[in-house]
Amino acid sequence: MTRIGVAFNLKPEPLGAPVGATLGGADNETADPIHGDEEPPSNGAGPVRAPRQRPATTGRPDNTVLLQELAADDEYAEWDTAETIDAVVRALSAYGTVIRLEATPDFPERLRAERPDIVFNMAEGSGGKNREAHVPAICEFFDVPYTGSDPLTLSLCLDKSRTKEVLSHYGVATPCFAVLESLDAVDLLSPALRYPLFVKPIHEGSSKGITERNLCQTPADLAAQVEFLLDSYAQPVLVEEYLPGAEFTCAVLGNGSDAAVLPIVAMDFDALPDGAIPVYGFEAKWVWDRPDAPLRIFECPAAIPDSLRRTIESTTLRAYQALGCRDWSRVDVRLDAAGVPNVIEVNPLPGILPNPADNSCFPKAARAAGMSYETLIQSCLALAADRQGLRLRRVRT
């Protein structure tokens, strides 16, 4: 029987009382948005009332300050819950014996001792800009096949500016950008970059550090937010031109010329509170989406003309190939002022929350393609097995 390892990082349970803070306003409740799920929580992050005010470039409401501090304190936002890991284990068990390999410091010894035939990698890793590459690199070291992209691609995609350099080299549209390692160069950015600008920590995911305050209309906004991000995240800040158009996220499954885009997910920013800026950041993922009031922000398949769908698909696939993605990945795309699809980032370890009530884009796109959660996980396993010459046999239906 095939022995299938699953490598994961388990999100710690919140300790005791919620550590969240009141988000301004008498009827706001306390909550713990930082310990929610990797992807947006209609799935159990605490109840937090949406800040309804538009955070204008001047006179921003105080709660946006608190929100961005919470967003900077979201250490485990990328890790998976027991529910997600159990669902993946269930899906994999149709093809063999599943061995849980938590990506803790004893992972190398356990991997070597267990020597599974293949590892299903969903470990987001801990610590540093190469964190997502650790598990696959250890698998390579011990010559154990694994699912998904290799360490180079995982590290590359976790560096948003290096990703953009590669995309630019291959002629894939991506917003003009600069990287700031200190505040010194902030004044030199204009006129090279045109306002409004959007800033983000260079090595994060799950909207860590991305709040409404990251949209900068003026040099003063920019200096303040770059300073905040440099201080909070201790890593360079990516400064990009702001893309004003519609946003999509595209799930890709497959390898080489067989790689294909599942039905495209569109963001409906009308679902955000009145006056919110149209971005899918920390507030939309972790604050405004609640189990008792899910944020209906996704439309899948996206209701767009065929010609736009085809352009988005080809941009997505070019990005996937340019970055060397394997088996699966999710590509975030947004239209510029001329309606041209630009790639914002590529996620080679896509979020895979199993509960359809949760806003998890990859499983949602798979469902729109008629594929169950189990089939999605099994497809990724099968693609990786095929690539590495491993034969899988179904042991249960």
Ligand X SMILES: Nc1ncnc2c1ncn2[C@@H]1O[C@H](COP(=O)(O)OP(=O)(O)O)[C@@H](O)[C@H]1O
Q: Which residues bind ligand X (CB under 6 A)?
A: 175, 198, 200, 205-207, 210, 240, 242-243, 247, 279-281, 332, 334, 344-345
* Nearest residue (CB) to Mg ion, 117 versus 212: 212
* Nearest residue (CB) to ligand X, 243 versus 259: 243
Q: Which does 35 bind (CB under 5 to 8 A by kind): Mg ion, ligand X, none?
A: none
Q: Which listed range, 190-198, 214-222, 271-279, 329-337, lies at the site for Mg ion (CB under 5 A)?
A: 329-337
Residue 323 to residue 118: CA distance in whole angstroms: 23
Nearest distance from C-beta of residue 162 to ligand X, angstroms: 13
Nearest distance from C-beta of residue 251 to Mg ion, angstroms: 13
CA-nearest of 87, 98, 101 to 373 is 87
Q: Which listed range, 117-125, 179-187, 294-302, 328-336, lies at the site for Mg ion (CB under 5 A)?
A: 328-336
Which residue number places its CB atom closest to Mg ion?
332
Q: Which does 206 bind (CB under 5 to 8 A by kind): ligand X, Mg ion, none?
A: ligand X
Q: Tell whether residue 247 is a contact of Mg ion (CB under 5 A).
A: no
Q: Which does 175 bind (CB under 5 to 8 A by kind): Mg ion, ligand X, none?
A: ligand X
* Nearest residue (CB) to Mg ion, 88 versus 284: 284
Strand, coil or helix: 243: coil
Pairing of strands 215-216, 197-201: antiparallel
* Nearest residue (CB) to ligand X, 46 versus 205: 205
Using alpha carbons only, give the angle 240, 246, 252 rounded to the nearest 5 degrees. Answer: 85
User: What letter would DSSP give residue 287?
Assistant: I
* Nearest residue (CB) to ligand X, 12 versus 244: 244
Which sign, positive or negative, has the C-alpha torsion 24, 29, 33, 34?
positive
Largest CA distance in the chain: 63
Nearest distance from C-beta of residue 26 to ligand X, angstroms: 30
DSSP class per residue in 23-78: -SSTT-----GGGS-SS--SSSPPP-PPP-S---SSS--HHHHHHHHHHTT-TTTT
Q: Which listed range, 54-62, 86-94, 132-140, 330-338, lies at the site for Mg ion (CB under 5 A)?
A: 330-338
| Letter string b/e over residues 212-244, b meaning 16 or more CB atoms within 10 A of that residue's CB | bbbbbeeeebbebbbebbbebbebbbbbbbbbe
Nearest distance from C-beta of residue 287 to ligand X, angstroms: 14
Q: Which does 240 bind (CB under 5 to 8 A by kind): ligand X, Mg ion, none?
A: ligand X
Q: How many residues bind Mg ion (CB under 5 A)?
A: 1
* Nearest residue (CB) to ligand X, 11 versus 334: 334
Nearest distance from C-beta of residue 242 to ligand X, angstroms: 4
Q: How far is CA 171 from the centre of its chain?
A: 23
Q: Which does 148 bind (CB under 5 to 8 A by kind): ligand X, Mg ion, none?
A: none
* Nearest residue (CB) to Mg ion, 212 versus 332: 332
| Letter string b/e over residues 255-291, b meaning 16 or more CB atoms within 10 A of that residue's CB | beeebebbbbbbbbeebbbeebbbbbbbbbbbbbbbe
Beta bridge partners of 298: 267
CA-nearest of 365, 380, 346, 353 to 120 is 380
Residue 110 to residue 129: CA distance in whole angstroms: 24
Q: Tell whether residue 332 is a contact of Mg ion (CB under 5 A).
A: yes
Residue 208 to residue 142: CA distance in whole angstroms: 33
Residue with tokens 């011990």: 142
Residue 7 to residue 122: CA distance in whole angstroms: 6
What number of CA atoms fall less than 13 Å from residue 213's CA on the CB side? 26
Residue 12 to residue 311: CA distance in whole angstroms: 41
Q: Tell whether residue 204 is a contact of Mg ion (CB under 5 A).
A: no
* Nearest residue (CB) to ligand X, 53 versus 347: 347
* Nearest residue (CB) to ligand X, 186 versus 199: 199
Nearest distance from C-beta of residue 351 to ligand X, angstroms: 9
Nearest distance from C-beta of residue 89 to Mg ion, angstroms: 26
Nearest distance from C-beta of residue 283 to ligand X, angstroms: 11
Nearest distance from C-beta of residue 330 to Mg ion, angstroms: 8
Q: Which does 283 bind (CB under 5 to 8 A by kind): ligand X, Mg ion, none?
A: none
**Residues found near Mg ion in the complex (CB under 5 A):** 332
